Amino acid sequence: MKLLRRLHLYLGCFFAPLLLFFTATGWVQTVSMHRNKATGESESGAWWQKLTSIHVDQVYPLETADAFDPRLFQYLVVAMSICLILTVLLGVYLAFKSTRSKWWVSMVLLAGILLPCLLLWLGNIKE
């Protein structure tokens, strides 16, 4: 149990900056109608558009670049995704192990699954 907590702590701390970055740029991408035209190309050239390009295209668009190769950054994102999945699963496991009220943990976990599904279903407009 101590090893799992330590693993959860270190994985969470290591990937926290990248997760915050992807959360923030994903947020901007979700609420913004401005979409990049091509890889690394932004309409306004604003700094937040360039950060969104990292999220969408896995490149930081520089005017001086002739081409882009996102592979190295994609490897980091794959590692982050795998470790995030592992960290979330460890967190759920630790939640069940560290509380007496497993029923509440189960209900909150179930609500975390059902509420997004319900909101997506309610978002479907039928004409």
Chain segment 83-122, per-residue pLDDT in tens = 888 888 888 888 888 888 889 889 988 999 999 899 989 9
Position 43 confidence tier, pLDDT thresholds 50, 70, 90 = low
Quote the pLDDT of residue 115.
93
Longest Cα–Cα distance of the chain, Å, equals 59
pLDDT one-digit tens code per residue, 13-27: 777 777 777 777 666
Tell whether 107 is covered by a domain: no
Given a contact cutoff of 8 angstroms between Cβ atoms, the answer to whether 85 and 91 are in contact is no
State residue 118 phi and psi, 5-degree precision: -65, -45
Count of the separate structural domains present in the chain: 1
Distance from C-alpha of 115 to C-alpha of 109, rounded to nearest angstrom? 10
**pLDDT for position 122:** 93
For residue 15, CA distances in Å to 12, 74, 82 come to: 5, 14, 11
User: Cα angle at 48 between 14 and 41, to 5 degrees?
Assistant: 110
CB-count exposure of residue 30 (10 Å: 0-12, 13-18, 19+): exposed
CA angle 2, 92, 14 (to 5 degrees): 65
pLDDT in tens, 45-93: 677 777 777 777 777 777 777 877 878 888 888 888 888 888 888 888 8
Which domain covers residue 82, as residue numbers? 2-100
